[in-house]
Structure 1
Amino acid sequence: MCEPFIRNHQYNFIKNQAESVLNALRTVGDPKILESVRFSAQTKVAELFPAVTDNRKTMLDSISDLKTTDDFQTYLQALEPYLIEFPQITEKQIRKLFPKNKKLKVPDLAQIDLRYVSCLSWTDISTNKMFIVYSVGGQFVGVEGRYTATNKKGYCFVCSRYEELALFSAISKKRPANASPDYYKSVGNYLCMNGHECNKNMTDVTSLEKFIDSVQG
């Protein structure tokens, strides 16, 4: 039985490294440079999982052996059984995260492959709001805020890819000591309008977790 150990963002990172090897094979003529690219990809992937020393390490290390597009596909398919799913969550649980939104529109969870999810995010155009659900230490947290479509592409602060963006602004729950009753602070940043694409692109969750922490307190 395969024990899952690869999170979605790590899988995306590995995929990017594998693509760099394939690209080098197509464009690089110098064997030394190609070997350097192979070694770099293998090293970066190994650094994601320093505690893995069994046959899973052999599987990951085989990234340096890729030679063809078929090899690339076979390599990624071999990783799929080891993907950690985003924790199972129900519509009822999501609604509890946003108790003030009585008419909250929840995405169709049955249509989402949780293996390829780092966070759930969606927009409600009727209320002009965006919602994010993330798992922190085994607990779900929900962040909601206003979004403004930019109608242009730029770099998402979460996945760092060039995509169609929205300016997302949420009210922070953090309050300084002796703050006045009417104190509030808005936290905003640009992120992908399309949560599915963001999950496909994400290779690091650090920025996302910092943002959620700045809102949640």
Structure 2
Amino acid sequence: MAWVGNARLKAGPENAGFLDLVFVPGAHLGVRADDPLTFVEVVEVEEVTTIRVPSGRLIVDSPWSEDHGREIAARIPPGTYRVEVAWTEAPYEFGGEYFDGRECAATRLRVSEDPVVVWEAGVGVNDDIGDADVAAAGFHSDNEAMGGIADAVAWEALTAPFHRFRQATASCGTTPAPDRDTEDLCGGWFEKSSNEGFKADLIAFDVAEGWAPVWIGRTQSGTVASIIVPGQMATSPLA
């Protein structure tokens, strides 16, 4: 039987178009906001790492958040899942130098290989789906412009390195800030936090500053195939 979800959660045409294309190498996602003649092109889809999700419950939120984290309502089978990044390039010139404009367009938790037939807003367990802004469900990314995906049960333990770093930095004065107890991946674009007590991991990544939407890709039967959080791009959509 085909999946019948809440119509109010369904992504609109512009968002659905972006989500359908962002992990397709060679796709054009729009043009540079400051140069309508330069396309933003998906140049690579890369596996960043895998993360363990033993409970099947997920929090998608800023790892710097001071609350308990925003748990999404969608559930996945407990297991280990690939985290992938879509890289885009949109060349530009500045000060007589040329740059490739490489950016993280989106981060994806790949739950299954099954095709996505519908994109839905990643509502939280505490969200009121009657709210007018439910189609823009997401999280506050704070000044650090960072998001994270991790097992909900292990969230507090997995985000502890970020909070310890913030506390140590605030108290260190002019001395060098301490290293975070996390693993840098992809040249520092991503951070991974692990906890062997929970046998779980967190992946942290760049997002747009202020607000980051969360999207759930569902299969024909309604199971979750992927969870995508867009990155921060200097992009204008194509007409």
Query: How does the TM-score come out when normalised to structure 1?
Result: 0.29
Higher helix share: 1
Q: Looking at CA atoms only, which structure, 1 or 2, has the larger radius of gyration? A: 1
**1 or 2 for the larger relative contact order (CA 8 Å, sep ≥6)?**
2
Q: TM-score, normalised by structure 2?
A: 0.27
